[in-house]
Structure 1
Amino acid sequence: MPMRGLTILVATGDAERLHTALGFAAATAATGARIRLHLHEGAVALLAAPLSAPNDPARHKAGLPKLGELWEEALGLGVAISLCQSGLALHDLDLEKLDPRLEAQGPVSVMTGLGDDRLVAF
């Protein structure tokens, strides 16, 4: 039986929460299930600078992926990543200058696109 899809909402600008969400997104993508990750308002701000998280040095030492590496891995696995339109405006980010695999979405399109997906918030 195919696994239900998963939509993950990252609600805050906490880099460690984003790292966790990306880990679950990558794991879901590896199963072949549909996976979407949405960065809401504050989480979008994390893209304003090179992606890094407080525990990245410890991860690197342990041979685990740092935030930026996990971000690239998730995109490479086909995780569909969307960014909050309000978050882009709040943090003065231009979608055209970010990774072309990203798209802008608002809450309505995220929710109407759920279908049978499970929804998890970090």
Structure 2
Amino acid sequence: MQTSPNRLLALEYLAFIEAGDLPAAMKLASDDAVFWMPNTGDMDKAAFAGFLSAVLPAIRTMKLTIRGVTEDGERIAVEVDGSAELTNERVYKNHYHFLFIIRNGLLHNVKEFTDTAPAIEAFQP
């Protein structure tokens, strides 16, 4: 089975997020990219980078386990299990479904579907 450039791009983005490398992850997105998450709605690239800049320092280590990838042209769907050790000594675990829309070799839309309750509990002060 041949791995497409779109699939590789989506997985590379997740690998950069896992490593906490926000600048590298954002280089994979177009300037007009739109990111969507529960409770935040649509964010442009700058707003999303600002959101992650506030969250990533609270994460000591993160492991994303890819459970499945489905591809349909420019649409890449990725099922992920996540686990993170936080600086507040809590462990955050959640399941994710990402939908990436890729155009011209860059992320154009990223939708992150997840249960918000574990995040609220783990990250609260």
TM-score normalised by the chain length of structure 1: 0.26
Flag the structure with higher helix content. 1
TM-score by length of 2: 0.26
Taking CA–CA contacts closer than 8 Å with sequence separation of 6 or more, which of the two structures ends up with the larger relative contact order?
1
Q: Which structure shows the bigger proportion of residues in strand conformation?
A: 2
